Amino acid sequence: MHYVEMQHISKRFGTVQANDDVSLSVDRGEVLALLGENGSGKSTLMNMLAGIYYPDSGSIHIDGRHHNLWSPHDAIAAGIGMVHQHFKLVPVMNAWENISLGEKPGRGFSNPIIEKKRINKKISALEERFGLVTVHDRKIYDMSVSEKQTVEIVKMLYRGATVLILDEPTAVLTPQEIKSLFSMLRNMKQEGCAVIIITHKLNEVMEISDRVTVMRKGKTIATVNTSETNPRELTGMMVGESISLEIKREQSFPEEKPVMELHSLTTWAWKGNLCLTI
């Protein structure tokens, strides 16, 4: 039994069949790559797991229990958090305020200073556990894309997420920031989180994932162990045919013919009052 199981999920928007009898599973301590071309139904499927959409048919089980995820609130209560490609942060608020936003206050009078200390202490404990770093008092509008993404991840963990969904997390990151993100994901994996990455970048799939689920035209094509596949095979499953990944560059001009020749060239150049022949 897998920790998260989506079985025979279908979703239609008008005449568009976004997902058609899709099944997916992920375990604790595992990174699953959800791979497919743009429009293959990856984000729609994960939006149903995050409670944003509700499936027309099919079932979702988490830790062996059936769940009806009618809203993101239901998903968070079930331990599922999603970091969207476009972050859901309040720019004029700082990191710790965004992370704790929506948390119910304690009973009776609550001292704001004590609450801030309590929240920051909880955030620091999560950062130490998962190897994350945020500047708690920094405003969101002063942060880089990578820093905002880290705040989103901490926000999900703060709310008790044990399943983390990342939608195209490396789309706008630098190579160094991608390296830092993957280090964080490995720490989450070691701490028993289930991580799902929505992507279409084969090199990242091979580097970070344990298993790969490939989607094409709204359907599940296959789920394979990353160690038992390769980019060529995954590309074939994505597009439905064998694709060559080799880049062949032909020479623009034959080697025996020069590109340009100059003969008996004369020009004039003025320097001060002198006219020089070059």
What does the pLDDT look like over 212-265, one tens digit per residue? 999 999 999 999 999 999 998 999 898 876 665 566 666 665 666 777 788 877
pTM of the model: 0.82
**Mean pLDDT score of the chain:** 88
- Structure confidence at residue 262 (pLDDT): 80
- Phi, psi of 199, rounded to the nearest 5 degrees: -160, 170
DSSP conformation letters of 146-198: HHHHHHHHHHHHHTT-SEEEEESTTTT--HHHHHHHHHHHHHHHHTT-EEEEE
Quickly list H helices, 101-144.
112-130
Question: Contact, 194 vs 32, CB < 8 A?
Answer: yes
Q: Going from the N-terminus, what domains does the chain have, and what CATH number goes with each?
A: 4-93+159-243 (3.40.50.300)
CA distance 133 to 126: 10
CA distance 251 to 112: 69
CA distance 191 to 129: 8
Bigger pLDDT: 267 or 95? 95
Has residue 172 got a pLDDT over 90?
Answer: no
Q: Name the 3-class secondary structure at 57.
A: strand
CA distance 108 to 105: 9
